[in-house]
A and B are shown apart, each in its own frame.
Chain A
């Protein structure tokens, strides 16, 4: 079936540094969403992309539907960035979101 492969599964960064998360798709996706799940379990919308690149503060995301991947870049990481990050993509065929397995991000002082 349709799959979303998210990596890495865990990431530890020192404050002020940055890194990238990636999701690969095994089928054509029309859009991707990125979420941060905080310590209370709430899913916070970070980005919705049907194509191209969006930037919001220290976060930047790219979606390449032809090459079937999306990335989330974090720069100048802060302690409040800790949490689990999920990508979720919508296939052409329907409206439901198919989820990556998440990246647990820990920011160290």
Chain B
């Protein structure tokens, strides 16, 4: 099992450009989560999909951020018109979502986004 895969590992964008981050969850996992990690804010929840359906996006900034899960094997996080304050490590996690221990989340290596 390759674990959660995230690409790219590093991305540098100019202010105002768009950034798309990709996540491939562990095969068979039905829940996919996105988190963001910064020095100042620590780790923060962004959004969550269950069986590809968006369930909770309460952590997503209302403007410029969007997430999709078009099929069970990948999810994308898109940031439009990137700003320097969007610089962070974006982490994707997946879980089985049922059964004993089914909610244990497994994390990918993250994408480090730097907005210049």
Residues of chain A at the chain B interface (Cβ within 8 Å): 31, 33, 35, 40-43, 45, 48, 50, 86, 88, 90, 94-99, 101-102
In the bound complex, residues from chain B placing their C-beta under 8 Å from that of A35 are 107
In the bound complex, residues from chain A placing their C-beta under 8 Å from that of B110 are 41-42
Q: Residue on A with the closest CB to B35? A: A97
Q: How many Å from the CB of A79 to the closest CB on chain B?
A: 22
In the bound complex, residues from chain B placing their C-beta under 8 Å from that of A102 are 42
Chain B: interface size category = 20 to 34
Q: How many Å from the CB of B86 to the closest CB on chain A?
A: 18
> Does B59 lie at the interface of the complex (its beta carbon under 8 Å from any beta carbon of A)?
yes
Residues of chain B at the chain A interface (Cβ within 8 Å): 31, 33, 35, 42-45, 48, 50, 55-56, 59, 89, 91, 93, 95, 97, 100-101, 103-107, 109-110, 112
Q: Residue on B with the closest CB to A30? A: B103
Name the one of A40, A43, A48, A96 contacting B45, with C-beta atoms under 8 angstroms.
Answer: A96
Secondary structure dominating the interface of B: strand
Q: Is the beta-carbon distance between A96 and B48 smaller than 8 angstroms?
A: yes
In the bound complex, residues from chain B placing their C-beta under 8 Å from that of A86 are 43
Q: How many Å from the CB of A46 to the closest CB on chain B?
A: 11
Name the one of B44, B91, B104 contacting A43, with C-beta atoms under 8 angstroms.
Answer: B91
Q: Is the beta-carbon distance between B109 and A42 smaller than 8 angstroms?
A: yes
Q: How far is the CA of A43 from the CA of B101 in the complex (A)?
A: 18
